[in-house]
Amino acid sequence: MNLPENKMSVLKRIGIPIVEHCNLKCKGCLHFCNSNQEEFYYDCEEFERDVMRLSELFDNIEVLILYGGEPLLHPKIIRLLEIVRVYLKKTKIEILTNGLLLPTLDENFYQSIKKYDVCIGWSAYPVGKKINMKIEDTLISEKVVYYKNDVQMFYGIFNPLGNSNSYYQWKRCSGRKCHVLRKGYISVCPAPAVEHIINQSFDKQLDFSTSRLNIYDESIDAEKILYFLEQSHDVCKYCTSARTFIWERQSKPKLEDWYGKVGGNE
Ligand code: SF4
Ligand code: SF4
């Protein structure tokens, strides 16, 4: 499968979870970080291999997002930013963070995000007016390019029975463009990349392996990846209509925290 000669292969957006635990344990975290017992930091060499591979596969990647867990917990985040910029010169780089660590970071960090032209995506949770003011003051005084999403509500979409109509769920899903790369595998959304956390935390044996694509497969090319990312997958049968709830912390999670609406699994 080859693209016509004059057609560029463009991946619009890819997220890379560089850390899988978090300093803010949100109930129903879509990345299951509040239930994760283990610390994971994307290894720098593995990260470089994976980003280099993406840069070989695609003519352009428009947006690359480092997220977590809380990505600012990664001790080598500056090195990771440098790697992205070396291989992806035109890509818009974002760090998606809850912001809690921003006031504690040093000049080296703030100089680096300017050097590598990084935008901060701040998810502002209702953690206290003073804390959020301190975060915003830091962003302003450090002259950071940032955007802010105020978060008040969360939602659960998990159908533990896994009997939803995959195509129907995928077609109306707002997260189906949030593609993820984790340890050499790419997936339509974060769900296939957190299978191991769900299984460890809740003693499950979910298998989302058919919903991930190995970017090192010899027969893979950009068009095959883009086609794969534009399809519903087996994992989508574990999604259902969203059940919304007010954001709160939850350090003793139950799988029910993630459940979606009963009867939303057409
Ligand atoms: S801040 Fe984000 S990553 Fe951390 S627990 Fe909340 S939703 Fe999950
Ligand atoms: S598994 Fe499918 S339906 Fe569920 S969030 Fe991902 S893309 Fe959407």
CA dist list (Å): 172 to 85, 210, 239, 242: 34, 21, 11, 11
All structural domains of the chain? 10-258 (3.20.20.70)
CA of 175 to the centre of ligand 2 (A): 6
Residue nearest to atom 5 of ligand 2 (CA): 175
pLDDT digits (tens, 9 = 90+) for 214-245: 999 999 999 999 999 999 999 999 999 999 99
Q: Pick from 150, 205, 208, 156: which is nearest to 182 by CA? A: 208
Share of the chain above pLDDT 70, in %: 97
Mutate which of 173, 206, 259 for ligand 2? The one with the most ligand atoms within 8 Å of its CB, which is: 173
Q: Are strands 146-150 and 118-124 parallel, antiparallel or unpaired?
A: parallel
pLDDT value at position 6? 62
CA of 176 to the centre of ligand 2 (A): 6
Q: What are phi and psi of 76, to 5 degrees?
A: -115, 35
CA of 191 to the centre of ligand 1 (A): 14
pLDDT value at position 265? 60
User: How far is it, in rounded angstroms, from Cα 246 to Cα 97?
Assistant: 20
pLDDT digits (tens, 9 = 90+) for 142-191: 999 999 999 999 999 999 999 999 999 999 999 999 999 999 999 999 99
pLDDT digits (tens, 9 = 90+) for 77-91: 999 999 999 999 999
CA dist list (Å): 146 to 31, 140, 222: 22, 9, 30
Pair of tokens at residue 219: 């027969």
pLDDT value at position 251? 80
pLDDT value at position 266? 59
pLDDT value at position 3? 58
CA of 20 to the centre of ligand 1 (A): 10
pLDDT value at position 7? 72
Q: Which of 11-20, 123-132, 200-209, 256-265 has the lowest mean pLDDT?
A: 256-265
Sheet holding 10-17, edge to edge: 146-150, 118-124, 92-97, 60-67, 10-17, 180-182, 185-187, 212-214
Evaluate whether 47 touches 74 at the Cβ level (below 8 Å): no
Asked whether 247 lines ligand 1 (CB < 6 A), one says no
pLDDT digits (tens, 9 = 90+) for 177-187: 999 999 999 99
Nearby residues of 72 by Cβ (< 8 Å), 6 or more positions away: 95, 97, 101, 102, 105
Mean pLDDT in residue range 82-110: 98
